Structure 1
Amino acid sequence: MGLGFGGEVASYYKRYRRGYPGPVVDALATAFGLTAQDRVVDLGCGTGQLALPLAARVRAVLGVDPEADMLTLARRAAHDQRIGNVNWLLGADIDMPALVALLGEGSVGAVTIGQALHWMDHQSLFDRLQPLLRPGGGVAVVTNGTPLWLQDTAWSRTLRDCLEQWLGTRPVRTCGTDADSQRRYRDGLVAAGYQVDETVVEYTDEIGLDDLVGGVFSALSVDTLPAPQQRSEFAGRVREALHPETRFREHVRVTILAARVAGSDLPGAR
């Protein structure tokens, strides 16, 4: 079932993937009128970067992911943070009809998809999710910033060159963050009968070399993750190329496509 992002890759993902700042969770709660009575499904939840902060705003969150190792680490993070209203389910986008049968129609306030939609058949997924949503609920496609190797900074261009030399090919994967993908997702939501609003949350962060290299490794599959000694060699190459800089400023643009079923209102709205 998995996509090859288990094992050590899941560990890198948990440690180095960006989380979501408070304003992103606020925007999601506002978009769908989420309350303490709601349930949310976080599809492609990874190690819980979005599911865990959402849990503080609703009755329960169900994190769904095709990688068992991701879910193991997410469950551990929830335990460590004493978050008791999140459940974890091994599954994928094709399992959504079964989820409707399990939870019931109109039972979910929102389905969130954070930086995972590029692995899914988004058009059929948008159609399959509608029966799950309560009035005023909807689907949120959350894009968590441009990949480290594609940003418009000197350090990112250097990282990109290092990756090209290492992999033997230019790293061009946008993970759904590019304008064409965003347009395609929006068009797909509209075609499925949703009303779509876009919210952007921007912030700056400073990361170190360890975060830079770990972030790259978190995006590789198990089959392409270098052996431990090769990882050290790659980190050394990046360190040498970026010398003397050791801290790197990152501008993160989080884009939220909040889609509600056309004609629906938020609970209590007039």
Structure 2
Amino acid sequence: MSVFEGTAGYYGRYRPGLPPEVIALLADAGSASRPRRLLDIGTGTGLVVKALLDQFDDIIALDTDADMLVVAETDLRPRLPHGARLSLCRGAAEEFMPPQGWRADLVTFCRVFHWLDRAAVLARLNQHVAPHGAVAVLADRSLWTATNPWQQAVRSVVQDFLGTQRRAGSGAFPASPEPFGQTLRSSAFSNVSETYVPVRRTWSTDGVLGYLYSTSFAAPHLFGDRRDRFETAVKRILALFSDNDTFIEDNTFVIHLGRRPA
């Protein structure tokens, strides 16, 4: 079972997309030669691909979750520019093999790098990234690690229902062995830059619940027959922080961009 079992519909609707500054940075990264090729690993419902559809001519989007790929197909295919190619592939990053001769100008990992055998994936990518290509690791804080008071209160509700240890579906969330930048610097893509993009988001109670149900630590099935009680508890705690159903989140998008040394 995927750790995101049952979350795809919520993921596509409630997960925040990429800030404009992040999109611009990615659009300028990697080789500018044509055709431009993008490999998005752990694409989920295709948030990164959706943001970059008009910047690349040939896109491969990879994920292990079949339901996520169905949502991505439905959302992305009608938006595809004329002449562009999009391949949605199901499989593990550690085993991925592109078509013969296919080399990415940019590889993106958005909110997924912590799930992977990073060293193995980066070693494999060394064969499949163009000489002047780049690898981008993107992440912002999830509600589990957020520092906004209302989000910390909501996390406490999740913990009351599911335990204090962060869940990953029916298992436990994997511990991160080292910072993302350090992993990149130990790979073939060791010329690493770091960019920090502040983000302010506005949420409603429905949006917060939808977001929670898009995560591996609060997937709907984890609550069983207690789901209604969980929703009531979340609504009750959020009402303490706003009288107009508006909740402000301050977050930061961190982009590690790795290239091969010159």
Show the 5 A alignment for 1:185-224.
185-194=180-189, 195-220=191-216, 224=221
Matches within 5 A, 1:256-267: 256-263=255-262
| Counterpart position of 1:254 | 253
Q: What is residue 89 of structure 1 aligned with on the other side?
A: 89
| Secondary structure of the structure 2 residue equivalent to 1:51 | helix
Aligned position for 1:155: 150
Q: Is the 8 A contact 1:158 1:241 kept in 2?
A: yes
Q: Secondary structure at the match of 2:192?
A: strand
Partner of 1:122: 118
Cα distance in 2 for partners of 1:141, 1:255 equals: 8
What residue number does 2:230 align with? 234
Conservation of the 8 A alpha-carbon contact between 2:59 and 2:86: yes
Per-residue deviation at 1:22? 2.2
Contact 1:34 1:57 in 2 (8 A): no
- 1:7-46 C-alpha deviation (Å, 9 max, x unpaired): x311111111111122212111223244652110000000
User: SS of 1:238's equivalent?
Assistant: helix
Is 2:156 the partner of 1:166?
no
CA distance in structure 2 between the partners assigned to 1:224 and 1:118 by the alignment: 23
Cα drift, residue 168 of structure 1 = 2.6
CA contact (8 A) 1:130 1:261 kept: no
- Matches of 1:82 and 1:24, distance apart in 2: 20
- Give the Cα separation in 2 of the matches to 1:109 and 1:215: 32
Deviations 1:204-255 (A, max 9, x none): 110111111111111137685334x633321111111121522110112111
Aligned in 2, Cα 1:154/1:48: closer, same or farther, shift over 3 Å? same
CA contact (8 A) 1:55 1:85 kept: no
From 69, 72, 75, give the equivalent of 1:71.
69
Q: Which residue of 2 is the match for residue 5 of structure 1? A: 4
State how far apart, in whole Å, the 2-side matches of 1:51 and 1:164 are. 33
Residue in structure 2 matched with residue 184 of structure 1 by the alignment: 179
**Unmatched runs of 5 consecutive residues or more in structure 1:** 264-270
CA distance in 1 between counterparts of 2:72 and 2:100 reads 22
* Pairwise CA distance, 1:71: 0.4
- TM-score w.r.t. the length of structure 1 is 0.84
Q: Does 1:14 align with 2:21?
A: no
Provide the C-alpha distance between the structure 1 equivalents of 2:36 and 2:79, rounded to a whole number of angstroms: 21
Question: Deviation per CA, 1:79-121, whole angstroms, max 9, x where unpaired?
Answer: 343556322011111223x22xx2426x210111111111110
Matching residue's letter, 1:235: E
Quote the RMSD (CA, aligned, Å). Answer: 2.6
Q: Is the 8 A contact 2:40 2:109 kept in 1?
A: yes
| C-alpha contact 2:37 2:58 (8 A) present in aligned 1 | yes
Report the alpha carbon displacement of residue 129 of structure 1 after superposing the two structures with TM.
Answer: 0.3
Does the aligned pair in 2 maintain the 1:46–1:74 contact within 8 Å? Answer: yes
Name whichever of 185-194 and 61-70 sits farther off.
185-194
Which moves more between the two structures, 28-37 or 149-158? 28-37
Whole-angstrom distance in 2 between the partners of 1:103 and 1:148: 40
Which residue identity does 1:254 align to in structure 2? Answer: F
Taking the aligned partners of 1:169 and 1:156, their CA distance within structure 2 comes to: 15
TM-score of the superposition, structure 2-length normalised? Answer: 0.86
Identity across aligned pairs (percent)? 26
Say which SS state the counterpart of residue 23 (structure 1) adopts. Answer: helix
Of 181-190 and 229-238, more deviation after overlay is shown by 181-190
User: Is there any run of 5+ residues in structure 2 with no aligned partner, and where?
Assistant: none
- Give the corresponding residue for 1:137: 133
How far is the alpha carbon of 1:170 from its aligned partner? 4.6
Structure 2 CA distance for partners of 1:136 and 1:230, relative to 1, 3 Å: same
| SS of alignment partner, residue 128 of structure 1 | helix
